[in-house]
A = this chain, B = another copy of it.
Amino acid sequence: MTSLGIGLIGTGFMGKCHAMAWSHVRPVFGDVPEIRLETLCDIDPDVTQKRAAEYGFARAETDWRKLVDDKRIDIISITSPNNVHREMAVAFLEAGKHVWCEKPMALTLEEAEAMTVAATKAKGRTLLGYNYIKNPAVLHAKKLIDAKAIGDVVHFRGQVDEDYLASPDVPWSKRARIDLWGLGTLGDITCHLVSFAHLLIGDIASVSADMETVVKQRPVPGTSEMREVENEDIAHAIVRFKSGISGMLASSRAAWGRKNLIRFEVHGTKGMLTFDQERLNELQLYMSEGPEETRGFRTILTGPVHTPYGQFTPAPGHQLGFNELKVIEAKHLLDCIANGKECFVNFAEGLKIERVIHGMAQSARERKWVDVA
């Protein structure tokens, strides 16, 4: 394929991020088809027109359905609100497009299942925007685990915390409504943690979870009214993986001081690996080998030896940024399109993640262990 046309729905946080990823994937990696930025779509015509010019898209559009049958578009980036993911993704899949959709998949398990069914029937690739797992540090962790550098994995612990809803003064918004936003912390950030767990350890089989809404009511903007927050601020669980090992997941969107903390610990019979997204260019590795007196956790700074860091800069320790992880994600999609393989996380894998987070919600409500696979 000599070139691929891109359609992008959404001009917010992740829309811009996709646009930047599409404009960098070829400069960075070289060995990919030419990328044509065809159509940018969002509801406000003026903003969309302005952003299309800035991002380098050929056209601006306000009706996403116009993109569905546009032959110039090969890949659709969906960064719209979660409640329209299903409708859009299914339509584009049926039209034969490749679909790169932001997480969480959808509002409900049923929607996620419908998307997965559509993906199974479609010829296009699907990829969900689990931003963090294409990090060279994380890919290197995966490689070390697979190579048994820490022996057999015996335990996993993870936490993901932010503070965007820590303040009771943050006003009520649609984020607080289950019918519009779905799950709270579970859908926003816990799902990321599950993406790490599934990548590094394998599928989670069962969960015993708890959850809580810390700020129970929030002020409605422009009024003196307080309105109920319907979804959870904190969610955590003890889990068992299919492989039999145990684990823990912790998450909060009300954790003061945490901006994008995603930590994991992988315990092995011969060592340990830990990572923290707030220092995304570092990996901590302990190996129980060599003289005991010089053992210690090593702070590995990523560099060109950690593929594909070297595509961004030949100089180690220079640090990649969040947006660059998204460029690697775009490259992954292009590779899967080229070689016909499934992406990770495709819709089928994404559905497994949805089952974990919805299973956590169920477990918390029913106060019992729930099977999720």
Chain A interfacial positions (CB closer than 8 Å to B):
13, 16-17, 19-20, 23-24, 26-28, 30, 34, 50-51, 53-56, 140, 144, 149-150, 154-155, 157, 159, 162-164, 166-168, 208-212, 214-215, 234, 236-238, 240, 245-246, 248, 250, 252, 254-261, 267-272, 277-281, 283, 285-288, 291-301, 303, 305-306, 312-324, 367-369
Contacts and interface: CB of A to CB of B under 8 A. Distances in A.
B267 A252 contact: yes
Nearest to A37: B27
Contacts of A237: 238
23 contacts: A19-B27, A20-B24, A26-B55, A30-B50, A154-B214, A154-B254, A162-B317, A167-B288, A209-B238, A210-B238, A252-B267, A254-B267, A256-B286, A257-B296, A259-B301, A278-B317, A292-B303, A318-B321, A318-B322, A319-B319, A319-B322, A320-B321, A321-B322
A287 B154 CA distance: 29
A321 B280 CA distance: 10
A24 B23 contact: yes
Contacts of A150: 256
A169 to B, nearest CB: 10
A257 B278 contact: no
Contacts of A303: 259, 292
Contact of A322 (B246, B250, B313): B313
Given A154-B254, A298-B294, A367-B369, A28 B24 contact: no
Contacts of A291: 305
A13 B269 contact: no
With a 10 A CB-CB cut-off, give which of A27, A269, A280 has the most chain B CB atoms: A27
Given A292-B305, A298-B297, A246 B210 contact: yes
Given A260-B315, A318-B260, A288 B13 contact: no
Which of A164, A167, A324 gathers most chain B CB within 10 Å?
A324
A256 B234 contact: no
Given A162-B317, A210-B246, A211-B246, 9 more contacts: A20-B24, A154-B214, A208-B238, A209-B238, A234-B246, A255-B267, A259-B317, A293-B300, A367-B369
Nearest to A245: B212
Given A238-B209, A270-B256, A314-B13, A278 B319 contact: yes
B306 A300 contact: no
A304 B312 CA distance: 24
A186 B23 CA distance: 36
B294 A144 contact: yes
B293 A295 contact: no
